Amino acid sequence: MQNKKYWHGLLVRTKDRLSYEDHWFPFPFLLPLMLFLCIYGQFLPDLNPRRKNLSHVLHLKGDLQPKKALWLAISPYKNSLLINTSDQQDLLIPQKITKPSDLAPLKSYLTAKMQQIALSATLEKEADPGASLIILAVDKTLKYYHLRPFLYILAEVGISEYAFETLVPEEEENS
Amino acid sequence: MMTISPMLQSKILKTKKRLSNNTWQHYCVFLGFFSALLVASFCLRISAMTAKYEMVTASIPIMSVPLKFPAALRQVGEKFGQIDQNSPVIVFGIHDFVFGHLKNFTKDLASDTNKHRISHEDGTPQAANLVADLKKWHEDQQKLFKIKNPGFVILLPQDSLPVAIILQVIQFLKGSGLYSKIILGSDIF
């Protein structure tokens, strides 16, 4: 009997509440919408492409980077060189190259990328000169002998224009 | 005594009832939530945004090969220059810069008189002196032997040099206006 009274009272109160306009009702729908917009708007289109990059590049003012270019980060990792690519692949290469097969993972990656660029240029009937430019984000602790094998691989794969990434110093950025 | 109309009375009662309900708490909760979302979006932008990066360019020379494929002849790349025996070369060592023509590091490698040396001071490469000497050297070569500055230089750094210093020298050479293309090489040591 008491239960019945409780439910009856609840029903009457709900009826009364719903009988007049209540302005807060769209908010429960807006909550997931705002959360979705916040997460989608921040993460998916503009995720920092350098979030896995371990290389600390030189602070130097250089030339502007093109929008479309291959990007590789080269940083020391234990006794090897860790290469992060722009499509979030990680390659490990020994610091001292003793045989050509040491560079095979990098060579196959770059070959596949060049084929992709050539295919898209053929399909679009338009070649973007910046598309085959490769930007190397080389850690400033590395020496030239670490870098030399990469230059040979670039030449072998058919890349003739390459660049080294630099970080614009803060005072230059603000000016 | 003024009597309140029944309509106004019912409105006052309804307003009292509405205000006595705790729906204003919902406004505060949602306002707080949206403010938190706004703050969170700024924090998320920190993870999404990156610092400003630029680049120092270098080139690898291409060997021209005659193609028999007719369609390829319609698209011919512009030739920037040609590497020959008079192309300028800068050897970037640990103790000094040495520059000269390519033939001076190949055929006439043993001779000392055909190369120019600029020593580093306290281990610091004197890039400004190098550029000044290069400018004068190119002018002299143009006057005496009609050898023009081709607009590119072959840079041969020593293996043990840090990449950071090599990049600074490359950017300095490009910024001087003498060369627009730098070709990195190796294996002279």
Q: How far is CA B135 from CA A19, B81, B132, in A?
A: 89, 19, 5
Architecture of domain B88-184: 2-Layer Sandwich (3.30)
pLDDT average per 10 residues of sequence, chain B (189 residues): 75 76 68 79 69 85 68 62 91 93 86 89 92 94 93 92 93 92 79
Give B155→chain A minimum CA distance, Å.
12
Q: And the tokens for A86? A: 């722009």
- Model-level ipTM above the cut of 0.85: no
Burial letters B18-56, b for 16+ CB under 10 A, else e: eeeeeeeebeeebeeeeeebeeebeebeeebeeeebbbb
Give B184→chain A minimum CA distance, Å.
8
Give the global pTM. Answer: 0.73
| Alpha-carbon gap, residue A43 to A35, rounded angstroms | 12
Looking from the CA of B143 toward its CB, the CA atoms found within 13 Å total: 6
Amino acid at A50: R
Q: Which positions in chain A touch B164 (Cβ < 8 Å)?
A: 58, 140
Scan residues 68-127 of A and list those with Cβ closer than 8 Å to B: none
Kindly state whether B69 is in contact with chain A, defined as any CB-CB distance less than 8 angstroms: no
Q: And the tokens for A78? A: 């234990």
Kindly state whether B169 is in contact with chain A, defined as any CB-CB distance less than 8 angstroms: no
User: pLDDT tens digits for A107-166?
Assistant: 999 999 988 888 888 888 777 767 778 999 999 999 999 998 898 899 888 888 899 999
